[in-house]
Structures are given as structure tokens and as C-alpha cells.
Amino acid sequence: MTAKARGRGAARVGGAGEPTAIVLRSAREIGLLRDAGRAVAGVLDALERLVAPGITTADLDAAAENWIRAAGGVPTFKGYRGFPAAICVSVNDEVVHGIPGARRLQGGDLVSCDVGVTLGGYIGDGARTFALPPLDDEATRLLAATREALDAGIAAARPGARVGDVSAAVQAVVEAAGFSVVRQFCGHGVGTSMHEEPQVPNYGTPGRGPRLRPGMVVAIEPMVNVGRYDVRVDANGWTVRTADGSRSAHFEHTVALGPDGPAILTVP
């Protein structure tokens, strides 16, 4: 799940009770975060097998919640600031935070699934966009650019670098592909709370922002729009969609910074 970018009136990443300073995690804690991340990857793999024309987004939510609980975890998003479901499912022009419901998927849909799992008190956060065939050329390029932007952001997340290096790496890939990165929502630290410091925007300036240090754990999550980067939030208070109606994609990994470089935690 993405964080609302700090701006006028939004002083910090998290909600009540979430930490206000960057927390460095021990090797033991990173092991626990890896367990949670592995569960996230398992859920996303299961969702990838399920996504097909005719299935509802509520079906995906129910399957994900069953999978999470069978793994001994808790769906982190459920009840988070009142979010009513276990996962977020955002289709086509929906960017993030879509609420699962009666919508039936159709051929050609782009389906972004965002999954959070709390396991033993530690949280994994990850997202993928699945495409239902037939896949047009624009959608193919959108998914490739978003995946590549995430990879570039992760590669830039090396100790000694700064958050702005990650942000700029993501932005460069997206804009070179002719798409735009969402600015109102961003990645974030993750640990025992879902949204911790620092914020990790998907656009920015190299050499700026907090210094990256071993033990930091961050969710890097480019949200990429075919058209303009502006988004709006539905009356339900959650669903974020592109202002211009263009399609959007979202890929996210939870990443731990080791002394030698980044390690992706949301993998099987």
C-alpha cells in the first residue's frame, strides 16, 4: 500500500502510532521481514494464477485473505485506517487502493494487486500488475516500463546513496518510456508498521533526501500512468485513479539495505 506524499498539511508518512524516525533493523528483524515478504510473494503468485475473465475482485480478495491466514499471517491492510478489505485491487485507470467488490474482470484489463502481510509482528508489502489477454502494445510497454523502473530504483538503493537517487532512477526510466510517475503517493519505510520513515517518492533529484544506511527497509513502488501524473481519489476515500482516465500500473517490492547492497524481501 502506498503512502500519501508529504505536502501541505501532511507532516509525516504514517498514521497514529507509527514511527516518526527512520528505524534500522537488526539481522534478526530482517529475517522476520523476509518471512513476511515471502508470504506476500506467495499471495501474489496465487493471485496471478487466479486472475481471469469472469472472476470478481472480491473473489481475489477472499482468496488472498484465505492464503494469508493459512500461512499464519494477518492481512495488514484490513482495517488500516478503515480499509475494508484484505488487499487492494485496482483495475485499468485505477492507480492504487482499489476496494475489491463485485466488478468482474474482462479480457484486456490491467489488474494491480497490492498485498500486505503481517507475520510475527513484521510486515511485507508488495504489488504487481497482471494483464488479461489480449494485451495491446501500449499496455505491454507500460508494464515493462513500470517493472524496469522498480528494478532501477532497487539497484540505486545502496548504502551511502540517498533517497533522491532511488527516486531519480525510477523517474528516469518511466519518463524515457514516455509515461509519467504518480507524485501524490509514494513508497515508504516498512517494518513493524506499514508506513514508516523515510518517504520514497518516485520522482526526485539525485543526491537529495535522507542517506541510505544498512538496516533500512523500504517499500519501493512506482505507480506509472500512460498519460499525465495527476490523480484523484474517489468518494469512497480510497480508490485513486488517473485524472485523465489513462491506464496505470504498479509494481512494489519490500527491500532491505545490507552493507553490500539491496536485498529484495518480497520473493518466494
- The binding site for Mg ion (CB under 5 A) comprises 1, 125, 219
Closer to Mg ion by Cβ: residue 132 or 170 = 170
CB of 254 to Mg ion, least distance (A): 8
CA distance 35 to 68: 12
Closer to Mg ion by Cβ: residue 59 or 83 = 83
175: amino acid identity, one letter: E
Closer to Mg ion by Cβ: residue 241 or 250 = 250
Residue 77 · residue 85 · CB < 8 Å: yes
Closer to Mg ion by Cβ: residue 125 or 196 = 125
Q: Cα 104 vs. chain centroid, distance in angstroms?
A: 23
CB of 77 to Mg ion, least distance (A): 10
Cα angle value 253/257/263 (rounded, 5°) = 50
Closer to Mg ion by Cβ: residue 1 or 149 = 1
198-216 b/e (C-beta count within 10 Å ≥ 16 → b): bbbbbbbeeeebeebebbb
CA distance 144 to 132: 15
Residue 105, classified by CB atoms within 10 Å of its CB into exposed (0-12), middle (13-18) or buried (19+), is buried
CB of 153 to Mg ion, least distance (A): 13
Closer to Mg ion by Cβ: residue 35 or 125 = 125
58: amino acid identity, one letter: A
CB of 2 to Mg ion, least distance (A): 5
CB of 127 to Mg ion, least distance (A): 7
CB of 214 to Mg ion, least distance (A): 21
Minimal CB distance to Mg ion: which residue?
A: 219
